[in-house]
Amino acid sequence: MSAKVAGLVQKNAPGEPGEITLAAGNDPRQISLLRTEAREWMTSQPQPGLCFERFAANILVEALPEQALATGTLLQIGDALLEITQGKHCFEQCALASQGKQCLLKTGSVFARVTQGGRVKIGDDVAARYSRST
């Protein structure tokens, strides 16, 4: 199964329902991506972590391998090209972190900057083109 866009949050992004248009930028946290596995895990937890309400993904991706979220990886999504800039970190104030419990937000969510603008739609393929850090 190839990775695909499973959902989009259109907050402050132009586009028709089910699509967003991304503009190239320099902000390392311009876009946030979340793997569907991490989202499903979040909804199944009896005790929410601190970031469950704070973290809002712009793009929800299904079947994306965890290694494709490494810093420096370029992701082709629809017409846009994104560079993974950083992973999510845990906060000491989080009940999960303070109890030493694993949080899938740490491995299943990242921030990216748009290096080539374009339209992204639900159902678009997501392909890791290459990694600059390797």
DSSP track, 12-24: T---STTEEEE--
Residue 130: pLDDT band with limits 50, 70, 90: low
In this structure, are strands 80-87 and 73-77 parallel, antiparallel, or unpaired? antiparallel
The Cα-based distances of 79 to 11, 32, 34, 116, 127 in angstroms read 19, 17, 19, 8, 11
Whole-number mean pLDDT of the chain?
87
* Structure confidence by residue, pLDDT tens digits, 90-106: 777 888 877 888 888 88
Taking 80 as the threshold, does the pLDDT of residue 113 lie above it? yes
For the chain, the structural domain boundaries read 4-131
Number of Cβ within 10 Å of residue 125's Cβ equals 11
Put simply, whether the predicted model's pTM sits higher than 0.95 gets the answer no
